Structure 1
Amino acid sequence: MKTKMLMNNEKILAGITLKDPNEPEHNNMALHACKNPASILTNRKKLADFLQCELAQFVCAHQTHSANFHKVTLGDRGKGALQKETAIANTDALYTYEPNILLSVFTADCVPVLFFDETSGLTGVIHSGWPGTVKELTLKLFNHLIQVEQCNPMHIQVHIGPAISQRKFEVDEDVYRQFKNLGYADEFIDYNSKTRKYHIDNQQTVKRQCMIAGIPEDNIFIDPTCTFQNPNGFSYRENKQCGRHLSFIMRKSN
């Protein structure tokens, strides 16, 4: 099972699956973007076995590039794990305080964000494609966690996973304007006068949103792997029929 593990200690399990030509559909993990759902379930079962957990512990969302987030409870265990129809609807971020629940997010160029707070037991995942970034999903979720859930931003650790790089994320003026209007993304935008295209660093913009919420920069890690350029990456921009990575995080019970 080709997987990049970010953490695997006595408290936290976190990582991202990688593209693998030796697995069905190249290790695609997404039921919403596949040729054969049975192959996806085979891949997910292999992942569960690799992580030494059960598919019934997975929780998946029906991602819609929204600014919506959902607090996962024990009653949500298994949602979206075996059928896309049971996934948590219209949601692009999940968080929980429950142990032994594997929160999942699917990406292929979009920015996956994993976060945790060992003090409170908080874990969470965010799917931030450019629409989610300009809707400030990450900022809104962390503001909610800090202001409503009373989380201490100093204790929150954030991992921003592999995504399309600024070099390969080429957009027209309509998308540029939406990033420009954020008011804090200018330094992450380049203009190519030859192609008349803009190049935007979505990962750095998401990182800035974390920092605006109050999370210390030292608590934020970025994986610079470009999903478009790296052979281990699924890239929707490169191939509209591509599969999806699954980024995951779970707090283990003591």
Structure 2
Amino acid sequence: MLTNWSQQRNTIGVQPEWTASGVRALFTFRHHPDDATRSLDFAFQEGTSPEVTVANRALVAKQVGVDLESLVFVRQVHGTDVAVVNAAHRGMGALSIDADRIAADAIITDAVGTTLCILTADCVPVLFYDPVHQAIGAAHSGWRGTVGHICDRVIEAMSREFGTRASDLRVSIGPSIRSCCYEVDDVVAEPVKRAFAGGHVLTPRFGKPGKYWFSMQGAIRLDLERMGVLRDAIEDTGLCTSCRVNHLFSHRKEQGRAGRLAALIALA
């Protein structure tokens, strides 16, 4: 199950249960207890500035118990590439829109003190922890990444780099738009059908031909279990960014004017 979740707006975020066992992890909310809106993206400029974004990141880093300079960001491009990082990458993208950020949508490491960070505002953040080999990963899975099986790519990379076995992994699926709110058309539905044939992750909308509800979380869970992750080792926050836009940023609900939430993970 999950800890640090309440119905109150001023909760800073939600942690996977396994944060108590050698790893720190957090999915942030849009508000901090001081009640200020806390976007973690430099591109969100409505009432913010780069300095404010850095301050927001520093505040969240403190809450997680890591240094701001330990944060590692990648340039997310809605692909399936996985970046392997180490202590030399600490601070990449943390203090500015770093032109040297690696273009990738997932990050893995076994370096203690290196904090992996993914930004989302409807796409699914997925955190991975291998307690046997002390390795971690973070993935940004939008519909393209989900159809491209990005979580498979993370597990394959962790196995190749660190010796990770899927059956040892603990995985947490973070706040993201869910099938209650995520309507897609055939442009998305057709590749989903091909990628998850028989998976029942699409629900046709009654009276709306060519429209479907899509569960990215259900598709990700199918991939994880198919790769060998144990069903009981997969946590899902169950939080919909669109339904809970007062707590969370939603690109779709806010019509493209949303800030960004963060998913962070670091070896303790």
Distance of 2:198 and 2:87 partners within structure 1: 37
Distance of 2:260 and 2:193 partners within structure 1: 29
Which residue does 1:204 correspond to in 2? 218
User: Which stretch of the first structure deviates more once superposed, 187-196 or 103-112?
Assistant: 187-196
Structure 1, unaligned runs of 5 or more: none
Distance of 1:156 and 1:245 partners within structure 2: 24
What residue identity is the alignment partner of 1:34? Q
Is 1:71 aligned with 2:84?
yes
SS in 1 for 2:203: strand
Which residue does 1:236 correspond to in 2? 251
* Deviation, structure 1 residue 12: 1.0
What residue identity is the alignment partner of 1:75? A
* Deviation, structure 1 residue 145: 2.5
CA contact (8 A) 1:81 1:87 kept: no
Q: Where in structure 2 are the equivalents of 1:130-149 lying within 5 Å?
A: 130-146=143-159, 149=162
SS in 2 for 1:238: coil
RMSD: 1.8
CA contact (8 A) 2:83 2:102 kept: no
SS in 1 for 2:195: coil
**What is the aligned counterpart of 1:81 among 94, 98, 111?**
94
Which residue does 1:180 correspond to in 2? 193
Which residue does 1:246 correspond to in 2? 262
Distance of 1:104 and 1:23 partners within structure 2: 23
* Deviation, structure 1 residue 172: 0.7
* Deviation, structure 1 residue 193: 3.2
CA contact (8 A) 2:137 2:154 kept: no
Is 1:55 aligned with 2:71?
no
Distance of 1:103 and 1:45 partners within structure 2: 14
Give the TM-score of the pair, scaled to structure 1.
0.92
Is 1:6 aligned with 2:20?
no
For these two proteins, the number of residue pairs brought into alignment is: 251
Give the direction of change, closer, same or farther, for the CA distance of 1:60–1:218 in structure 2 (3 Å limit): same
After superposition, the C-alpha distances for 1:165-191 in whole angstroms (9 at most, x for unaligned) are 102100111100010011346411100
Distance of 1:123 and 1:61 partners within structure 2: 15
**What is the aligned counterpart of 1:227 among 230, 241, 249?**
241
CA contact (8 A) 2:25 2:64 kept: no
CA contact (8 A) 2:128 2:137 kept: yes
What residue identity is the alignment partner of 1:194? G
Which residue does 2:171 correspond to in 1? 158
Structure 2, unaligned runs of 5 or more: 1-10
* Deviation, structure 1 residue 15: 0.9
CA contact (8 A) 1:34 1:40 kept: no
* Deviation, structure 1 residue 148: 5.7
